[in-house]
Homo-oligomer: A and B are copies of this chain.
Amino acid sequence: MIYLDNAATSFPKPTEVLNAVNKSFILYGANPGRSGHNLSINTAMEVYSTREKLNSLFDGYGSEFVSFTQNCSYALNMAIKGVLKKGDHVIISSLEHNSVLRPVFKMTSRGEITSSVFVVTHDTEETLNNLKNEIRENTKLIIVTAVSNVFGDILPLREIAEIAKESNILFFVDGAQGAGLIPIKMKKIGINCLCIPGHKGLLAPMGIGAILHDGCIEETIIEGGTGSESFNYLQPVGFPDKLESGTLNVPAICGLKKGVEIVLNYGVENIFKEETALMKFMFNELSNMRKVILYRSEYDEKMKAPLIAFNIKGFHSEEVSAYLNENSVAVRGGYHCSPLAHKTYGTEDVGAVRISPSRFTTKKDVNYVLNLLQKFAKNKNM
């Protein structure tokens, strides 16, 4: 099987990551922060060193401001509901995933907050003007994805951060697709909160994510045992505990530590460069196929992460992805939990086929898929 669905979850995981997970069942098998025995303390130290790695990779505000979550969606809910109060206004981009859209839309539909969507185009100036036009007196937060999960657009984080800072607005980033693929430097850029999954670009098993922040998260949505301040009937106010109730996913955290090490050693820039070379080649080949729609005139790697969304004229994206699956190629077709993105690109009717590579993807894989797509278009013509 050729697996090109890495934007859903990266597969396979590096052997080093799997080894780290396996080792954790022996060396870090106790509940961290709960007991005082060696196995528990060793586990807590391993968990802490994973916080340090993440803090380093993302230029965060300190390891205590890294809390682990089940996934990026949980982190985003904690972030959004952690700062938005009654009467606040929030601005999101037109490429947001349901993990941002649904919590925001729920709060909006209940009249708790107001919200606006600014349209992202291929013209950065236009995009930033669209954003500026939505800022109001009571705008508390701007939240955008680093990379569109469907179309791969890289959002101008630095410029958005500047706009947010000028107006004293919090700036949060959904790193679901960006983490491990494009450099995201929180302090340098001016990001107050970054939410990430472990299981995509950071190569960890499914079931782990994190919220990194500068201390701005006031409110909690989950409270419970933290192993700290046992006699406090209220959730502790100190981080990371405040955002970590109940037992952590230690095996995945140990895998994540190794995944982050791999990314740090290899370099995010190099990962981006390699995958971009492959996707650029594929994009150019696809653009020569008459019936293929690519949703952009050229491959501008400054504005595009290495994944390709396309359709074949006359077919629903799911027909194409099913055909590829029959031929042992795993991609995602249909809709991608991002209704705003499909509206922005006008693909509400057919969805999109998404090709998302990893460091394990080869040019041979890409050529195999290109051949299949050529056959598909040809056969369906007859």
Decide yes or no whether A212 CB sits under 8 A from chain B. Answer: no
Can you list 8 A-B pairs with a CB-CB distance of less than 8 A? Answer: A1-B39, A5-B35, A5-B39, A11-B30, A12-B26, A18-B22, A36-B332, A69-B70
Chain B's closest residue to A198 (CB) is B247
Number of copies of this protein chain within its complex: 2
Residues of B near A152 (CB, < 8 A) are none
Nearest-Cβ distance from residue A278 to partner chain B, whole angstroms: 20
Whether A233 and B339, one on each chain, are in contact in the complex, defined by CB atoms closer than 8 angstroms, is yes
Interface residues of A in 325-360 (CB under 8 A from B): 325, 329-339, 342, 348
Whether A224 and B8, one on each chain, are in contact in the complex, defined by CB atoms closer than 8 angstroms, is no
Known contacts A206-B31, A224-B73, A325-B36, A233 near B12 by CB under 8 Å = no
Q: Fill in one digit per residue for A1-20: 1 if any B CB lies within 8 Å of its CB, else 0.
A: 10101001101110000100
Interface residues of A in 22-47 (CB under 8 A from B): 22, 25-26, 29-31, 34-40
Q: How far is the CA of A235 from the CA of B250 in the complex (A)?
A: 29
Residues of B near A101 (CB, < 8 A) are 233
A residues neighboring B (CB under 8 Å): 1, 3, 5, 8-9, 11-13, 18, 21-22, 25-26, 29-31, 34-40, 69-74, 76-77, 97-99, 101-103, 105-106, 109, 197, 199, 205-209, 221-227, 230-235, 245-252, 318, 321-322, 324-325, 329-339, 342, 348
Whether A37 and B245, one on each chain, are in contact in the complex, defined by CB atoms closer than 8 angstroms, is no
Main secondary structure of the interface of A (DSSP, over half): loop
Residues of B near A322 (CB, < 8 A) are 36
Q: How far is the CA of A289 from the CA of B4 in the complex (A)?
A: 65
| List of 9 A-B pairs having minimum Cβ-Cβ separation, nearest first | A207-B249, A73-B246, A73-B224, A225-B337, A230-B335, A99-B224, A71-B246, A37-B330, A102-B223
Q: How far is the CA of A22 from the CA of B336 in the complex (A)?
A: 28
Residues of B near A209 (CB, < 8 A) are 246
Residues of B near A223 (CB, < 8 A) are 77, 98-99, 102-103, 106
| Of the residues B221, B235, B248, B321, contact of A36 by C-beta under 8 Å | B321
Residues of B near A335 (CB, < 8 A) are 230-231
